[in-house]
Amino acid sequence: MSGAGLGISPGLRDAVQAWTEGLRALKGASEHTIEAYRADVLGFLGFLAGHLGGAGGVAQIGQLRQADMRAWMAARRLDGLGSRSLARALSSVKSFARWLAEREGVEISAILAARAPRYTRSLPRPLSEAAARDVIALVPLATRDDWTGLRDAAVVTLLYGCGLRVSEALGLTGRDAPLPEMLRIRGKGGRERLVPVLPAARTAVAAYLRACPHDPGAQAPLFRGVKGGALSRHHVAGVLRVVRAQLGLPATATPHALRHSFATHLLAAGGDLRAIQELLGHASLASTQVYTAVDARQLTEIYLAAHPRAKA
């Protein structure tokens, strides 16, 4: 990242810190998201320090021209940043600039006038129903110990059977066991939702808990590592890497792909889009509507593979 964090005035550093604290308090965004926003803004301010020659303060922000914004975006392109990541970085900068304008009264028209690059939103890559079943069946065999295999199977069953994010599944505690028919999940932005738990998921978690050698205290993580600590998302990703290699599945067959598969298969079975939005915990219906495109793409692929005229 060009000039990230270099030459930034103390006043601007304090402003960035106050802005990120405000995001934590008001938006309830995940720490990972907030850190990404913070890195975007620090990278922008670091670039300006080099580009404009010196660690200017808040007043320097009000003197920016559109040419300065274009120079920053061009530098990020040279750093190898793609259109989608650059659009996110610009969004972060604009958010910070608006906050700064309200607080300090600086002029930010040049920042707000900067246009994000266009990009094509990539569609989720779900597994087929057969592949999802194969993954769940093979996961218990990917580890040496019986109880860890049962644990990993329980996790991936929750991802596919309930549409949970990895962080949501690993965020469950002993208080959540035995799993109820309806599970209360706190997702992104602190939003809560109720998720039906399939009998297969309850059975998988119960089998793991019976075999787990660690005491499932109410405050302790439900899914434990070998030494008793919280299971990491890196372990779950590693298990999926092993399993997809054994099954010949593409690199897109990740833990999050199981959540995509849950939504896509539910939609294909006639699920209501609004209901799927609630189950996934999406703040906007637009985030859920992407699965209609996935379903349409799959129908097109089936049509092209099976229709006599398509084959001609």
Q: What is the pLDDT of residues 64-121, one digit of tens each?
A: 999 999 999 999 999 888 888 888 899 999 999 999 999 888 899 999 999 888 765 5
Catalytic option among 27, 84, 125, 188: 188
Q: Across the chain, what does the average pLDDT equal?
A: 83
User: Which CATH number does the domain 10-113 belong to among 2.40.440, 1.10.150, 3.90.930, 1.10.530?
Assistant: 1.10.150
- List, for residues 117-147, the tens digit of each pLDDT value: 876 555 557 888 899 999 999 999 887 778 9
Query: Is the model's pLDDT at 203 over the cut of 80?
Result: yes
Catalytic annotation, pick one of 235, 259, 260, 265: 259
Q: Hey, is 255 helix, strand or coil?
A: helix
Q: What is the 3-state secondary structure (H, E, C) of 140-205?
A: HHHCCCHHHHHHHHHHHHHHHHHCCCHHHHHCCEHHHCCCCCEEEEECHHHCEEEEECCHHHHHHH
Cα-based angle 167, 169, 171 (whole degrees, multiple of 5): 65
Known active-site residue 234: no
Q: What is the pLDDT of residue 3?
A: 43
Task: Tell me whether residue 51 is one of the annotated catalytic residues.
Answer: no
Q: Cα(26)–Cα(43) distance, rounded to whole angstroms?
A: 23
Local confidence band at 312 (pLDDT 50, 70, 90 cut-offs): very low
Q: What is the distance between the alpha carbons of residues 179 and 30, in angstroms, rounded to a whole number?
A: 25
Instruction: Give the domain ranges of the chain.
Output: 10-113, 129-306
pLDDT of residue 235: 94
User: Given a cut of 70, is residue 306 above it in pLDDT?
Assistant: no
The beta-strand segments (E) located in the chain are: 182-186, 192-196
Reply yes or no on whether 282 is catalytic: yes
pLDDT of 274 reads 75
Taking 60 as the threshold, does the pLDDT of residue 10 lie above it? yes
Tell me if residue 191 is catalytic: no
User: Is 133 a catalytic site residue?
Assistant: no
Average pLDDT estimate for 178-183: 91
Examine the pLDDT at 305 and tell me if it is beyond 60: no
* pLDDT mean over 167-187: 91
Q: What is residue 70's predicted lDDT score, i.e. its pLDDT?
A: 93
Which position among 282, 303, 307, 311 bears the catalytic label? 282
pLDDT tens per residue across span 14-64: 999 999 988 877 755 677 788 889 999 999 999 998 888 766 688 888 889
Q: DSSP class of residue 193?
A: E
Residue 265: pLDDT band with limits 50, 70, 90: confident
**pLDDT reported for residue 55:** 64
Out of 37, 160, 208, 291, pick the active-site residue: 291
Q: What architecture is domain 129-306?
A: Orthogonal Bundle (1.10)
Question: Contact, 55 vs 7, CB < 8 A?
Answer: yes
> What pTM value is reported for the model?
0.61
249-262 residue pLDDT tens: 988 888 988 988 88
* 210 belongs to the catalytic site: no
| Catalytic residue from among 88, 165, 202, 224 | 165
pLDDT at position 173 is: 94
Q: How confident is the model at residue 195, as a pLDDT?
A: 87
